[in-house]
Structure 1
Amino acid sequence: MRRGIAATALTATLALAVTACGGDSDSGSKGTSGPVTITWWDTSNATNEAPNYKALISEFEKANKDIKVTYVNVPFDQAQNKFQTAAGSKGAPDVIRADVGWTANWAKSQFLAPLDGTDALKNSEDITPALLKQAQYEGKTYGAPIVTDSLALMWNKELLKKAGFDKAPTTWDELKKVSKAVAAKTDADGFWMNKAGYYQMPFLYGEGTDLIDSEGKKITVNSPEAVKAIETSKSLLKAPGVAKLDVSADSYAHMQDAFTTGKVAMIVQGPWELTNIYKGAAFKDAANLGLATVPGGSAGKGAPIGGHNLSVYAGSDAAHQKAAQKFVGFMTSGETQAKIALKNSTLPTRTSAYTAEVKALPGFADMQTVLAEGGKARGSDPSYSSLYTDFETNVTKVLQGKVGVQKGLDDAAAAYKKLLKDYS
């Protein structure tokens, strides 16, 4: 949900045209002696991350002479629709790097093959349990987690020290106090609020609720707990030292710029921005960046876990699925994930991948703690990832003062009811 990837028109064309689902042109699809060729659609950053994945493919092919991998980089913001179109016409790639929010829906549509008991999920006890949960649908696992992320409270230690604090706030009330002091004693704002639905989730989790109750089939976005959560969010904007709500199209970039240049002391952000943050003027000394669990509410703390899975196309023949499973197992192993972390600065999904070298990367040890303390799996309903849009639209109106909290959340619930007809 977080990184669009630039690509040329040629790459986009290849993303649709190059497939390996057992057609006549694929060696090994009819019992020939040549290697089986599988296709992988990768949705990572084409400039910074893709070259490192290509190097790993070469490593895999050297160790597995009977398998060849055709690599295609597909822009993240186009991949979901492209794969659904290709899978519906039986022409999808053998392996797809999918956002965790896509997996259950594609499993429900029977686009993906279950991976339980295959080479794709060897030593699954090493994988963070919440990440496995997000890759499951109706008791079966349809994705092997390859990278993960969540949200953390990121803070400028120097600015907080000037304001008289040497630790990050642990509650929203504490954050208000810190923000007021920062604004009074420095030239910076204390906190910048991101209105996006994904970034508003910690407020809900802090009151012990969610957008929906997937197990109980209930819409909870307008529950009393949710109302309290968004009232807390709204109250922050009225607190001294908190930046004015930015509803412009470039609000995300504005937030990042303010934080990296030292104009704001605290933001809620994910590890995908760590590389860019450390390049900022305020964090040339990496030790100046603090990372902590997002502040909590009356029921505790929590932030949504994101990331990506590698999934196998159900429409491929047996030979291609077996080869794809082996490739997925290699790419998501602890050893490979450690290499990916060191090259791409992405968080691993296996405990064994957090080697001493990986933990030494700026921010990584702290993010591992944040994930363990506050990471929360999203709801298991296949439609869950589509719920953020209506949530954000209506919460933005609330934060702008256009509607009351209950009315805004009731409107979100009404939109959910049209999508989730079997929910009460």
Structure 2
Amino acid sequence: MRRGISVVAMAAAIVLGVTACGGGKSDSKSSDSGNAKDPASVSGTLTYWDTSDAKNEAPTYKALIADFEAKYPKIKVNYQNVDFGTVEQKFKTAAQNGKGAPDVIRTDVGLIPEYASLHYIAPLDGTTALTDTSDFLAGPLNTTKYDGKTYGVPSVTDTLGLLYNKDIFAKAGITAAPTTWDELIADSAKIKAKVPGVAGTYVNPDSYFLFPLLFGEGADLADPAGKKVTINSPEAVKAVTEAKKIYDTSSLKVDFASAYDNMQTSFKNGKVAMLIQGPWSVSDDLTGTAFKGKETNLGYAAVPAGSSGKALAPTGGHDLAVYQGSKNLDAAYLFTQFMTSSASQQKIALKNGTLPTRTSAYTAEVTGNPEIAGFKPIMDTARPRVALPQVGSLFTPLQQQYIKILQGQVSVQAGLDAAAKEFGKLLPGYTVQ
């Protein structure tokens, strides 16, 4: 499952994300500066909500928590693994009610603006949680910002890249990954002609995977500075027209009911030559017949560029955020600092194969992991999604119209105009073109 915001999970958040009023006002007795004068003197119990995979990733975080408690024996951590698909609504409910919210939460980067706008999470500038920011990669650090303040600390990061099957490329006479969408279409035609039964790609109808095409044309969902909805701008129309062209000419037939699973199965078993995908898929890819026992057959490249000439993809991943109503802010700050330190990130990367957010964490040992080595340069193409509290809710109307466009039910312009109209309802004060 991808690590970005799930469109399905966002559907239930549309109304709440727009209408909920702020909660969780802090009544903590923490130090005014947010920094304990003597960290060793900080005591108390804090609750941490971890959204990592309970089976494959959580053990690493539990081990780090044991290390933290050994370093700060007066602080105890109540660890809770919370399902990624339900954590957003669970946290909103707890923060709104002022009961049951964790002191620290691992959150999708796309939710930081919404949580901050609702006053559910604390600004971290000047606190112990946010130290040595010059060591963070620019992309992940930018995901923590809202309205001029910092509300999270980058923990793990990801983005979208182009994964490809080297053997299929060789059979088709392709010597390098495509760097433009036109090249992707041309390469798909070569594959279809020279490698029977194999499609060039598989278009994922999840609107998150549309971002590389939008960004490549200089388009985005909205323009906060100008208070404009831009999803139906000429640039966005051009991007989605290109996506439709790729779907019509180069994609394996999409089963819209189970698109993601079928896409993965087709790629890892050698029926599709290349995918726009993230690092979270690699462990699954390597279980398929195309890559199992021959991991070097999996190629990594940046997403193709649009007419802007730039290869751009959304910054994904997770940040740690501190609940504004926490009664143990000093302990929460120390815990957040520890869990996002370079040493902790190295341990997480080595055990879980996720990409660190600190430059210093990319040691020779860490980059010895082919997945991390493959995606590290691709991170240079990553850029944040537009920092709007409602950004998650915008995915649903875009998803609905994008599917209709791909299926030929509506034209690109009509579909994006319909999405823009729904965006206008979710973004009060924004003009719709």
Please indicate, yes or no, whether the TM-score normalized by the shorter chain is above 0.5.
yes
2:168 pairs with 1:147 = no
Aligned partners of 1:334, 1:278: CA distance in 2, in Å? 28
Contact kept, 8 Å, 2:2 with 2:278, in 1: the verdict is no
**SS across alignment from 1:192:** coil
Amino acid of the residue matched to residue 201 of structure 1?
Answer: F
Aligned residue number for residue 126 of structure 2: 117
Aligned residue number for residue 315 of structure 2: 305
Aligned partners of 2:202, 2:97: CA distance in 1, in Å? 45
Aligned residue number for residue 419 of structure 1: 426
The CA deviation at 1:3 is 5.5
Q: Which runs of 4+ in 1 moved over 2 A?
A: 1-4
The CA deviation at 1:150 is 0.7
Contact kept, 8 Å, 2:42 with 2:331, in 1: the verdict is no
Provide, for residues 103-143 of structure 1, a one-character-per-residue CA deviation record: whole Å limited to 9, x for no partner.
11111111111111212111011111222221111111111
Aligned residue number for residue 233 of structure 1: 243
* Mapping for residues 1-400 of structure 1, pairs under 5 Å: 2=2, 35-91=43-99, 92-187=101-196, 188-239=198-249, 241-248=250-257, 250-284=258-292, 285-299=294-308, 300-317=310-327, 320-372=328-380, 374-400=381-407
Contact kept, 8 Å, 1:95 with 1:312, in 2: the verdict is yes
Provide, for residues 151-190 of structure 1, a one-character-per-residue CA deviation record: whole Å limited to 9, x for no partner.
0110000100110012100111111111111111113111
2:412 pairs with 1:405 = yes
The CA deviation at 1:395 is 1.1
Aligned partners of 2:3, 2:233: CA distance in 1, in Å? 32
| Structure 2 stretches lacking a partner, 5+ long | 5-25, 29-40
When residues 172 and 37 of structure 1 are mapped into structure 2, their CA distance, relative to the original with a 3 A threshold, is same
The CA deviation at 1:34 is 9.5
Percentage identity across paired residues of the two chains = 49
**SS across alignment from 2:200:** strand
Amino acid of the residue matched to residue 396 of structure 1?
Answer: I
Aligned partners of 1:332, 1:192: CA distance in 2, in Å? 35
The CA deviation at 1:290 is 0.7
Between 210-219 and 58-67, report the one with greater CA deviation: 210-219
**SS across alignment from 2:122:** coil
Contact kept, 8 Å, 1:180 with 1:242, in 2: the verdict is no
Contact kept, 8 Å, 1:50 with 1:73, in 2: the verdict is yes
| Structure 1 stretches lacking a partner, 5+ long | 5-20, 24-32
When residues 216 and 158 of structure 1 are mapped into structure 2, their CA distance, relative to the original with a 3 A threshold, is same
The CA deviation at 1:214 is 2.2
Provide, for residues 188-219 of structure 1, a one-character-per-residue CA deviation record: whole Å limited to 9, x for no partner.
11111111100011111111110111222211
Aligned residue number for residue 30 of structure 1: none
Between 349-358 and 409-418, report the one with greater CA deviation: 349-358
Contact kept, 8 Å, 1:192 with 1:255, in 2: the verdict is yes
The CA deviation at 1:366 is 2.1
**SS across alignment from 2:354:** coil
Aligned partners of 2:27, 2:147: CA distance in 1, in Å? 28
Contact kept, 8 Å, 1:312 with 1:325, in 2: the verdict is yes
Contact kept, 8 Å, 2:151 with 2:321, in 1: the verdict is yes
Aligned partners of 1:121, 1:368: CA distance in 2, in Å? 23
Superposition RMSD on alpha carbons, in Å? 1.7
Contact kept, 8 Å, 2:3 with 2:316, in 1: the verdict is no
Aligned partners of 1:257, 1:325: CA distance in 2, in Å? 42
**SS across alignment from 2:286:** helix
TM-score by length of 2: 0.88
How many matched pairs? 394
**SS across alignment from 1:279:** coil
Aligned partners of 1:38, 1:363: CA distance in 2, in Å? 34
Provide, for residues 29-73 of structure 1, a one-character-per-residue CA deviation record: whole Å limited to 9, x for no partner.
xxxx99411000111111111111111100011011121111011
Provide, for residues 233-276 of structure 1, a one-character-per-residue CA deviation record: whole Å limited to 9, x for no partner.
1111222x53123312x111101001001111011111011111
Contact kept, 8 Å, 2:128 with 2:334, in 1: the verdict is yes
